[in-house]
Structures are given as structure tokens and as C-alpha cells.
Chain A
């Protein structure tokens, strides 16, 4: 066994023509069995480091590489990808499945290696058992929640039994409970003696596991902390290092809602079902969002919280008039907004912002929204430049919206919402996977919307975001209001 799991010697990499964040002059030595967290703002190069370790550089991203990389004693560039002793879990649970049923997906890596069928089945069973995935066996991957998908992805990698695991922001789209389950899986890997490298913004759930934390900025390794030193940091110190509040914080509002009246939801019954497809009987569990009465303060930010599957997205879609359900009303001072009116007055920013950006430049995107703005909102209509200024995206005016980072895209869509002149803006998980800087910028944008007289509802499980901008918390639990 080599004495280094991963060894980098004066490594510099840039993507060349392709998009990505370069790394310069990196020296690194990870011991076998070490648990290492990589952190730092987006664009700092931590994802690039994960790709150097798992061989996607240079096998998938060619770019310009200098220096020496050794993974378990071998140079990834001189070995085929499938020979490398590294298992990888990625950020987007939706896109990393090659097959459509969970059992085959868990077996996929082991199958490709050409192992004996009996051995594959043994490893699949072992992975399922050690991760407690029994109830996820033989399910359609399209019918899984984000957390379930991420656990299946982990099992698929584990069935290959690599000595090194590399995870790139695996918790970005997960709620608290799923994040804890992910933590438990990583703990078993660590206990088995494997080397684990995790790139993350939110390190809270890894607190007890990390042996070392590497903090990156602008493509360089800026600071290294031992596990014990890291655990001693308080919130202020973390913030100064540019890190998200690491230790899970309780939900708390930033301020009190101003008294500008209420929008009132009453008698809502709204059925929802997880989507299914592709060859598998999906559990046709029908859940219902049932809200007898709820007041949403106008001109304030209301945080809609609750676990994945609690009905937040369904409720958000209903508010935006995307659903046909007839039972339930939204009213403003006794006047009911019908569905068509909700569609005109509510701007819904759904979870995947990539679907909501249509034009070739940020400024054009805002101008398009201004051109289609509702004339009857009664709110002042600022011009594109003012809106971009307000959201701090003026320097992005000429960029293609789909080339931006996730946090920048969120702000562009919020800018479009502002330009649309709608009175209510509903957002679904706007800060999933964002670093401290981007999260703060989105929080400020939402605060500004509310202070400018708009009613904001944000479905989220980001306690940092709630603390930074919310006036009011509404908790959904299995479709009902919880206290």
C-alpha cells in the first residue's frame, strides 16, 4: 500500500476553452484513511481538485495540466478511467444515474467491471444492507426523493469498493434528515479505512468526521485546519473564513413582519404525487397539502420550511396558479384571486432556474420581463439598469444567463421577477448549493423585494437564509401546517 492516498506535486490546471475554475500550484498529500473536506467559495477550484483525483481530469476535461498527480500511487493520466481506485458521487442526484431502477443502478459499476454475477449480487446486497436501503430496492429512480437518490448513488459507488471516495457537494440539494443519512454513510466509509474527500459549502454535518479541512480561494489552497482546530471555530470566525455557518442553527427570523395587511389562504386541498416512469411500478402514494387558514404578511419575507416531500413545492406551484385545484382560495383583503389572477400577480421562481432563463444576455432578460410586465400592479416600474443595480448584477449585463453560476442565475431570475411588476414572488429552494457569498446576495435580494413592498414566500431548508432575511416562518409537515 502506498503511503499517500492522493499526492499532488506543484499541480496547475486550467480548462482552456471549456468553462471551469483553474487551480494553481497545489501541493497536497492525503494519508490513506484520512477524511478531508474541501471548502471555499464557488469558483475557488475545489471541484477541479475532485476531478484531478477521480481522473475526470485529464480523461474528460483535457485542459492544460502541469505537475504530478498520484492517486494510490498511480498517475491517473496513464491509466484508463475505469482502472482508477476512486468512487465518485456528484452534486446533482438527478443526472448521475445511468439506469432507471435502483437495484441495477447500485450494481452498475460492479457490472461494468465484469465481476461474476454472484459476486455482484453479494456486493449489491452488502451495500443495501450497510446503508439501510432495503425499502429502496427495485424502485424507479424517477420516483425517489433527492435524499434517496443520493443514498442510491452512494451505494452504487460503494458496491465497487474503492479505497478512495470523492464527493462533490453531495448535500447541496438535501434537507436536514437526508443530510444526516448521508453523513452516516460517509461515517461507515471512514470506519472501513477508506479515504474520503468531500467538497462542500455547508460543513456542519461533517463536523465530527473531518480530519482536515482545506480552504480554497481563487484557485489556491489558502488555509489548512486540523479537525480539532476546525471544531473549535465559532460562527464569527467561520464567517471571516468565508464559510457557511457550520453548526446547524435553529430556525429563527431576522425581523418582525411589518403590518401591511395579509394575503389569506383558506380551505386549500391540493393533492400531489411523486412522479414515476420507466418500467417500474411506482408507489402511488397520494399526499395532500391541506391548509385551512394561513395568513401571509404583505411586504414581508415568509419562509416556508419543512422536510423534502412535505408539500412545499406543491404549495408554491398552487400559489403561482400552476395547478388547477379548485378547492382553496387566496384572497387579498377579502377579494379572492382566481387562478388566472394568481398567474398574473404571482411570480414563481421554481427550483430549476435553468428553465427560466430564455434570452442571450442578462440585460435582455430583464428587458423582456419589463416588456411583458403586468400594467395593473400599481408598483413603480424601474428601468433595467436600476433593477440590475439593485440586485448587484450590473457587471453581468452582457453575459449569457445560462453561463452564470447558480447564485447569479437566482439573482437574474429575481431581477426578472422584479421587472415583471408582480406583487408576490414565490421562490423554491433558491439557495440550494450556494456558498456564503451567493447565499447572502440572494438573501439581500429577497429582503429588498419585501422592503420595496412585494410579498415574498420562499420555500427552503436553509437555516442561514431564513436567519438572513425572513420575517415569518411557516412550517409544513406532511402537507399540513405545523406549529
Chain B
């Protein structure tokens, strides 16, 4: 596949990648201020990052930009000490999201929502080690601990929580798409940057 992106597009990708990360960081700030924030993380992060993503889409007309942004976000998350699973998922999910969005010409609403749901799922990578690397983690512990101790550890992180988090991300992404669209109208179009 030949990418048909000009320099302006590539700079835009960089700008919105930074903004995506910045908004996630501000979310973290709110999470620290409001106690319930911690639990709802997978929900409100895509819900707020949707503001950046929807504004980004007003600048996307060609395939490739969403993919590059996704991979860059994955790399940045890796560089901030989170697990490399986000990057692995980004490499798979970002092109898929890009494809879904491009089929809607980066305009049609249903594609936008679906694309953003898929894009947001890469964030599940931050908790994958908690669930799937856990067996390996516990196996290593097993050399030093008895079975009852390990059982109590398993109960602290039930597997169904993983499915709940995927669901939370999806619902958060849908909300984020609508929030983003609303703020485009409320702010960005009126401020002259959309």
C-alpha cells in the first residue's frame, strides 16, 4: 500500500498524538482528585479522548493518518512504562479502525463511532498483564508460596473483570464520539479550528 500523505498531514498526526496523550494525562489528574475516577478509568478515558479524536478526524481525508497516530500512541504508552501490550494491540487495531473509518469516508457517523470503539480498545493493553501474565507471575510465586495464598490473589482479580473493562472501553468510546461531536459544534467550529 502506498501512503499518500503530505507533510501537513504528518505534522497533524504528531500534533493530535500529543494532544491525545495530554488529555489522557489530564484525565489522570482528575482521577487523582475524584476518588471514583480510579474505578471508572476505562470508561472516562475514551470518553474524554473522544474530544481530540473527533477534532482529529476533521483533518483526516486519507487512509494512514489514524494508523500512524494509533501506533505512536502505543509507542508513547510503552515509553511511559506501561506494558508493551498497548503497542501490540495498536499495531492490530489502529489499521482496523482506519479501515472502518475510511469505508465511511472519515465522515459517516456510524463508521466514526465503530472506528473509535475499535481504536479505543488498544487501551485494554494496560491491564492485560494483570490478567494474562498473571498465571506466569503466579507460577513464579508458586515456588515460594502455598496454594491458599495464591488462591486469594486470584480472587482479587477475577477474570470477568477483563470483559467488564472491554465493555467499559466500548461504552466510553461511544460516549466519547458523541461528546466529541457536541464539543466540535460548541467550541471548535465556532473557534475556527474544526
Is there direct touching of A and B in the complex, by C-beta distance under 8 Å? yes
Contact, CB under 8 Å: A360 / B192 = no
B186 touches which of A19, A360, A399 (Cβ 8 Å): A360
B187 located at the interface, meaning its Cβ lies under 8 Å from any Cβ of chain A in the complex: yes
Q: Considering the complex, give the chain B residue whose CB is closest to the CB of A358.
A: B187
- Least Cβ–Cβ distance between A17 and chain B, in angstroms: 10
* A257–B190 CA distance with the chains assembled, in angstroms: 42
Contact, CB under 8 Å: A400 / B8 = no
Enumerate chain A residues within 8 angstroms of B3, measured Cβ to Cβ. none
Contact, CB under 8 Å: B8 / A403 = no
B191 located at the interface, meaning its Cβ lies under 8 Å from any Cβ of chain A in the complex: yes
* A18–B187 CA distance with the chains assembled, in angstroms: 15
Contact, CB under 8 Å: B190 / A60 = no
Enumerate chain A residues within 8 angstroms of B192, measured Cβ to Cβ. 18-19, 400, 402-403
A60 touches which of B8, B186, B187 (Cβ 8 Å): B8
* A399–B186 CA distance with the chains assembled, in angstroms: 11
Report the interface size for chain B: residues with CB under 8 A from the other chain.
6
Enumerate chain B residues within 8 angstroms of A360, measured Cβ to Cβ. 186-187, 190
Enumerate chain A residues within 8 angstroms of B186, measured Cβ to Cβ. 360
| B residues 159-194 touching A (CB-CB < 8 Å) | 186-187, 190-192
Q: Considering the complex, give the chain A residue whose CB is closest to the CB of B191.
A: A402
Q: Considering the complex, give the chain A residue whose CB is closest to the CB of B6.
A: A59
* A19–B187 CA distance with the chains assembled, in angstroms: 15
Enumerate chain B residues within 8 angstroms of A402, measured Cβ to Cβ. 187, 191-192
Enumerate chain B residues within 8 angstroms of A399, measured Cβ to Cβ. 190
A16-36 vs B, CB cutoff 8 Å, 1 = contact: the mask equals 001100000000000000000
- Least Cβ–Cβ distance between B190 and chain A, in angstroms: 4
* A438–B192 CA distance with the chains assembled, in angstroms: 21
| B residues 54-113 touching A (CB-CB < 8 Å) | none
Enumerate chain A residues within 8 angstroms of B190, measured Cβ to Cβ. 360, 399-400, 403
- Least Cβ–Cβ distance between B143 and chain A, in angstroms: 44
Enumerate chain A residues within 8 angstroms of B191, measured Cβ to Cβ. 400, 402-403
* A399–B190 CA distance with the chains assembled, in angstroms: 7
* A14–B187 CA distance with the chains assembled, in angstroms: 23
| A residues 392-406 touching B (CB-CB < 8 Å) | 399-400, 402-403
- 10 examples of A-B residue contacts, CB within 8 angstroms: A18-B192, A19-B192, A360-B186, A360-B190, A399-B190, A400-B190, A402-B187, A402-B192, A403-B191, A403-B192
Instruction: Given contacts A19-B192, A399-B190, A400-B191, list 11 more A-B pairs with CB under 8 A.
Output: A18-B192, A60-B8, A360-B187, A360-B190, A400-B187, A400-B192, A402-B187, A402-B191, A402-B192, A403-B190, A403-B191
